[in-house]
Amino acid sequence: MQRFIVLDTETTGLSPDNGDRVIELGCVELLGRKLSGNDLHLYFNPERDSHEDALRIHGLTTAFLSTKPKFAEQVSAILDYLRGAHLIIHNAPFDVGFLDKELSLLGLPPLRSHVAGITDSLVMAKELFPGKRNSLDALCDRLGVDNSGRTFHGALLDAQLLADVYIYMTRGQHALLTDDAGDGAASASGQVHASASPSQGGGLDLLGLQLPVPTANAQELAAHDAVLAELDKASGGKTIWRLAENS
pLDDT mean for each 10 residues of the chain (247 residues): 96 97 98 95 98 95 98 98 98 98 98 98 96 95 89 88 95 52 40 39 50 77 81 76 66
Shared domain for 129 and 24, answered yes or no, is yes
Shared domain for 239 and 153, answered yes or no, is no
Query: Can you give the pLDDT at residue 126?
Result: 96
**Number of domains the chain is built from:** 2
Query: Can you give the pLDDT at residue 189?
Result: 40
Please tell me the number of Cα atoms within 13 Å of 81 on its side-chain side. Answer: 20
Whether residue 6 contacts residue 82, with contact meaning beta carbons closer than 8 Å, is answered with: no
Query: Can you give the pLDDT at residue 40?
Result: 98
* 153 in active site: yes
Q: Which of 114, 153, 193, 224 is catalytic?
A: 153
Whether residue 59 contacts residue 34, with contact meaning beta carbons closer than 8 Å, is answered with: no
Domain assignment present for 57: yes
pTM of the model: 0.70
Query: Can you give the pLDDT at residue 182?
Result: 41
Q: What angle do CA 119, 122, 123 make, to 5 degrees?
A: 70
Q: What angle do CA 83, 88, 93 make, to 5 degrees?
A: 95
Per the structure, the complete domain to which residue 243 belongs is given by 212-247
Domain assignment present for 177: no
Query: Can you give the pLDDT at residue 175?
Result: 45
